[in-house]
Amino acid sequence: MKTTIVSPRIYTYGSLVLGGVLRDRGHCVSITRDLRSRGEVTLLSLFSTSQLLDPDVRGFARGSQRIYVGGPVGLVPEIVLGELEVDGVVMGEGEEIAADLVERGACTDIPGVAFCQGGEVVKTEPIPVSDLDHVMPLIPEDLKSQNIRGANVYIETHRGCLGGCTFCQVPRFFGRSIRSRSLDNILGEVREMKRMGVSRVAVSGGTGTLFGYGGTVNKKAFIDLLEALAGILGPRNLSVPDMRVDFVDEEILEAVRRYTVGWVFFGIESGSEEILKAMKKGTTPEKNLEAVELAHRCGVKVGGSFIVGYPGETEEDYQATLDFMEEAVLDDVFCSVAEPIPGTPLASLVLDLPREDNLLYQEETGDYRPLQLSAAEARCFDLLLHGMSCRPVPRIVDEGTYSAFLEEARVQGRDVRRVMELLEKYREHIV
Ligand code: SF4
C-alpha cells in the first residue's frame, strides 16, 4: 500500500520521524510538502490552527480517499474533525500511532486517536511515548534546500517543558516532564542528514538547555551536545534558537558563542511584570534584562520575541515593553499578536473576555488611526518599528520595511481573528 506523508509548506520534524517509522515497518512511503500528492493512505502533518482554514488544505483533505491528521492541532481534535473531512486525528505524540492507523485502517482500538462515529467524536486514551530514541527519520532529497529561519531543518533533542506559559502548546502537547533522546541517537541522525546534503540544523524543543534535564539543568549534557553537533556540521551551521532566560548562564552562553551561529532568541514577551505574571511566564523584566546583558557580555547576539494584545494589556503595560526594548538594545525583534491556540489556557481566557475588551476588536484611536488597524495590530506594527531604532546600530525604516511591517501586523490580526471564530464555534470543547 502506498502511503504519502504530506507536510504543507515545511517538513515538520515529526513528519520525517513518522516516515522513518513507516519505512522501517516495510511500507512504501514518501514524504512531500506538495498538497497535490496523495497516496492510498495519506498522513497530513499540520502545525498551526490557521492551516485548518486554508482552502488548499481543506480541498486536499476532501479529495483524499483515506486520510489522517497529526501535529499540534490534535490538541482539540473536535476542531480538526469539524473543519476537515478526514478519517481520524492523532491527538498527541503520534509516530507509532499513525503507523498503526496505516496498518489497521480502523481507529477504534488504537490509543490516542479521535474519530467520528454516529455523528459523535470518539477519543481513545493516549499513551505518552517513553523511549524517544527514534528510528532514522525519512530524509527527503529536498530537505537540504528548505529554509526555516536560516536552518534546513529543526531537530528534536527532547520533549516537554517545565514552563507553564498560558499561550504555549508545548507543555500541553508534550507534557511538563522532560524526556531526552540519547546523544548517540541524535548524532547518528545529524550525520545522515549531512550525508543527504543538509548543512544547517537548528535544535528545537521549546528551550534548548533542557536537553538531558534530570531534576536540574544538565549543563554538561547540553554543552557536549553542541560541541558534538558542531563537530559534524561546523560551528556556523548550528543554531539553538529558543532559550528561557532562567536556564542560561555564562558557561552555556560561552558554548553557544563557540559552537553555534552565536545567537539566542529569548521569549521576553512583555516589559510589564503584571503581564508576565498573567502569562505565567515565570520570569520578570529584571531577569529578562539580566539575561540579555549577560548574553551580550559573552559575545552572543540576542533576538527577543514579544507578544502584544494579551488580555488585560494596558497602555502602561505596552509602554513598559517599549521601555524594556530601549534598555535591552536587542539585536533583532519579533512580535506576535497574542494567539489563543486551542488547548492552551489563553484560549479559554479569551473566550471569557467580552469582545469590547479584546484589543483585537478595538479600533486603534491613536497615531496609527488612519491605517485602520485594530489596537492589537497597531501595537504589533509599532513594536516592530520601535525594534529597528532600539538596536545596537539603529536602522532606518525605509518604505519597503514600513510596508512589510504593516502587512505583517495586518496578516497576524486577520489570522488571530479567524482563530477566534473557530474558538467560538467550538466553544464547548475549549472551556
Ligand atoms: S513558551 Fe517556552 S518556556 Fe514557556 S511553556 Fe512554552 S516552551 Fe516552555
Q: Which three cell numbers stand for residue 105?
A: 485502517
The pLDDT value recorded for residue 133 is 85
Amino acid at 12: T
pLDDT tens, per residue, the chain with 431 residues: 799 999 999 999 999 999 999 999 999 999 999 998 888 899 999 989 999 999 999 999 998 889 999 999 999 999 999 999 999 999 988 788 888 888 887 777 888 999 999 889 999 988 877 788 878 999 999 999 999 989 999 999 999 999 999 999 999 988 899 999 999 999 999 999 999 999 999 998 678 899 999 999 899 999 999 999 999 999 899 999 889 999 999 999 999 999 999 999 999 999 999 999 999 999 999 999 999 999 999 999 999 999 999 999 999 999 999 999 999 999 999 999 999 999 999 999 999 999 999 999 999 999 999 999 999 999 999 999 999 999 999 888 999 999 999 999 999 999 999 999 999 999 999 86
Q: Which atom of ligand 1 sits closest to the CA of residue 168?
A: 6
The pTM assigned to this predicted structure is: 0.93
Residue 168 Cβ < 6 Å to ligand 1: yes
Return the closest-CA partner of residue 201 out of 210, 190, 212.
Answer: 190
Distance CA 273, CA 277 (A): 6
The ranges of the chain annotated as CATH 3.40.50.280 are: 2-123
Q: Look up residue 368 and give its three cell numbers.
A: 496609527
Indicate the class that CATH gives domain 139-261.
alpha beta
Mutational test site, ligand 1, from 162, 168, 204, 266, max ligand atoms within 8 Å of CB? 168
- Ligand 1 pocket member 244 (CB < 6 A): yes
Instruction: State the pLDDT at residue 99.
Output: 83
Closest CA to 139 of 228, 2, 13: 13
Closest-CA residue to 90 (of 106, 109, 105, 77): 77
What's the pLDDT score for residue 230? 97
**Ligand 1 pocket test target in 75, 157, 161 with most atoms within 8 Å of CB:** 161
Q: What is the DSSP letter of 356?
A: G
* Ligand 1 lined by 8 (C-beta under 6 Å): no
Ligand 1 atom closest to the CA of 169, numbered from 1:
6
CA distance 139 to 76: 29
Cell 533533542, located at residue: 157
Kindly state if the Cβ of 245 falls inside 6 Å of ligand 1.
Answer: no
**Predicted pLDDT of residue 303:** 96
With a 6 A CB cut-off, is 241 part of the ligand 1 pocket?
A: no
Residues constituting the chain: 431
Ligand 1 midpoint to CA 163 (Å): 5
Q: Grid coordinates in use for 26?
A: 516495510
Supply the residue whose CA is at minimum distance from atom 3 of ligand 1. 163
For 388: left if phi > 0, alpha if psi spans -120 to 50, otherwise beta; the answer is alpha
Residues 140 and 319 sit within 8 Å (Cβ to Cβ):
no
Asked whether 161 lines ligand 1 (CB < 6 A), one says: yes
Q: How far is CA 116 from the centre of its chain?
A: 28
Q: How far is the CA of 205 from the centre of ligand 1 (A)?
A: 9
β-strand pairing of 179-180 with 158-159 = antiparallel
171 lines ligand 1 (CB under 6 A): yes
List C-alpha distances in Å: 311 to 163, 322, 349, 429.
20, 18, 8, 21
Alpha-carbon span 91 to 114, nearest angstrom: 7
Q: How far is the CA of 282 from the centre of ligand 1 (A)?
A: 10
In angstroms, what is the span from residue 34 Cα to ligand 1's centroid? 31
Choice from 165, 178, 246 to test ligand 1 binding pocket (greatest atom count within 8 A of CB): 165
Does any ligand 1 atom lie closer than 6 A to the CB of residue 3?
Answer: no
Q: Quick one: which of 245, 210, 203 has its CA closest to 227?
A: 203
Question: Is 13:139 a contact under the CB 8 Å cutoff?
Answer: no
Cβ(388)–Cβ(395) under 8 Å?
yes
CATH-assigned architecture of domain 2-123: 3-Layer(aba) Sandwich (3.40)
Q: In CATH, what number does 284-431 get?
A: 3.30.750
Q: How many A from CA of 241 to the centre of ligand 1? A: 13
Ligand 1 pocket check for 163: Cβ under 6 Å:
yes
Phi/psi-derived region of residue 224, left when phi > 0, alpha when psi is between -120 and 50, beta in every other case: alpha
The answer to whether the CB of 207 is under 6 A from ligand 1 is yes
Amino acid at 267: G
Specify the residue with its C-alpha closest to ligand 1, atom 6.
168
Which pairing describes strands 153-156 and 201-204: parallel, antiparallel, or unpaired?
A: parallel
Q: Please give the Cα distance from 164 to 178 (Å, whole number).
A: 13
Radius of gyration of the chain (CA): 22
Q: Which of 244, 264, 280, 336 to probe ligand 1 with, by most ligand atoms within 8 A of CB? A: 244
Task: List the grid coordinates of 186.
Answer: 541524535
Measured on CA atoms in the order 9, 13, 15, 19, is the torsion positive or negative? positive
Decide the pairing of beta strands 263-269 and 201-204: unpaired
Q: What is the pLDDT of residue 109?
A: 81
